[in-house]
Amino acid sequence: MEGATATMPRLAVLGAGHVGPVVARLALRAGYPVAIAASGDPGNLALITEILIPGAEPQWAVDAVAGADMVVLAMPLHRFLRLDPGLLAGRLVIDAMNYWPASDGVLEAFENGRAGSSQIVARRLEGSAVVKALNHIGYHELEQNARPAGSPDRRATGVAGDDPVAAAAVAEFVDGIGYDPVRLPSLAAGQVLQPGGPVFGRVLLRPEFDLAIGTGPAAAGAPVLADAQSGKG
């Protein structure tokens, strides 16, 4: 998308494991300028970036965030807990993380059983606008299933946030990288997107997505989303 980067929001991706590079590649293809950072020296990312994410700029996390309009958190949650919340103050943050005790270990902060993981992330980042997105589709599928707007086989993905302006901006980004955004009214409602939720690990067309979470005409009266909003599950 030649020339698009002059007006497109800048994206900082924090995390260079599996999800981070996929989000970065999709964003670059859509014309977004992208910086990517890991926990160490960006020089160590230079070769990986050149080969796997051509066009992304490896930076220190503080520099990547300072120049960004949106920040994607794509790191293990145990590393997030070591991140200085002040780094993200005033930023629009896309939480693409999931709580995996098998890999993260048991994290007491995420073990209360009622609040969703993104609600807990948002409490820690009280100076940021946190939106849950891009977490419920596996990274291979996320890249393989991206489609232009209007494609008959375009898939849907959830966007959940308490700040409607931030959620709208993330929905626009999701649309730009190849998915129909499904707006959920709050971070609490976003529990349907996390492990154990009805769409986690699934790549669904919009009607199938609506049915799975209990919204839309085909799912009138279904209880799933209402339960998520009340903190159940």
- DSSP 3-state of 158: strand
The 10s digit of each residue's pLDDT in 185-199 is 999 999 999 999 999
Distances (CA, A) of 138 to 31, 98, 142, 226, 227: 23, 11, 6, 25, 24
In 10 A of CB 180, how many CB atoms?
A: 18
Q: DSSP readout, 113-156?
A: SSS-HHHHHHHHTTTSEEEEES-SS-HHHHHHT---TT-TT-EE
Tell me how far CA of residue 137 lies from CA of 85, 114, 178, 204, 226, in angstroms. 26, 22, 13, 9, 22
Check residues 102 and 130 and name the one with the higher pLDDT: 130
Specify the 3-state DSSP secondary structure of 206.
helix
The pairing of strands 204-205 and 92-95 is: unpaired
User: Among 44, 13, 37, 7, which Cα is nearest to 27's?
Assistant: 13
What distance lies between CA 141 and its chain's CA centroid?
A: 14
Q: Write out the two tokens for 24.
A: 């970065």
- Picking from 152, 210, 212, the residue whose alpha carbon sits closest to that of residue 181 is 210
Rounded mean pLDDT of 142-158?
97
Nearest to 152 by CA among 207, 101, 214, 102: 207
Q: Which pLDDT score, from 0 to 100, does residue 48 have?
A: 87
Give the pLDDT band of residue 109 (cuts 50, 70, 90): confident
Q: Output the furthest CA–CA distance in the chain (Å, rounded).
A: 53
pLDDT for 29: 97
> CB within 8 A of 130, min separation 6: which ones?
93, 95, 118, 121, 122, 161, 162, 163, 166, 187
pLDDT-derived band at 113, boundaries 50, 70, 90? low
Strands 34-37 and 180-184: unpaired
Q: What is the percent of the chain where pLDDT is above 70? A: 89
> What confidence tier does 228 reach under pLDDT thresholds 50, 70, 90?
very low
Enter the pTM of the model: 0.88
Residue 220 pLDDT: 39
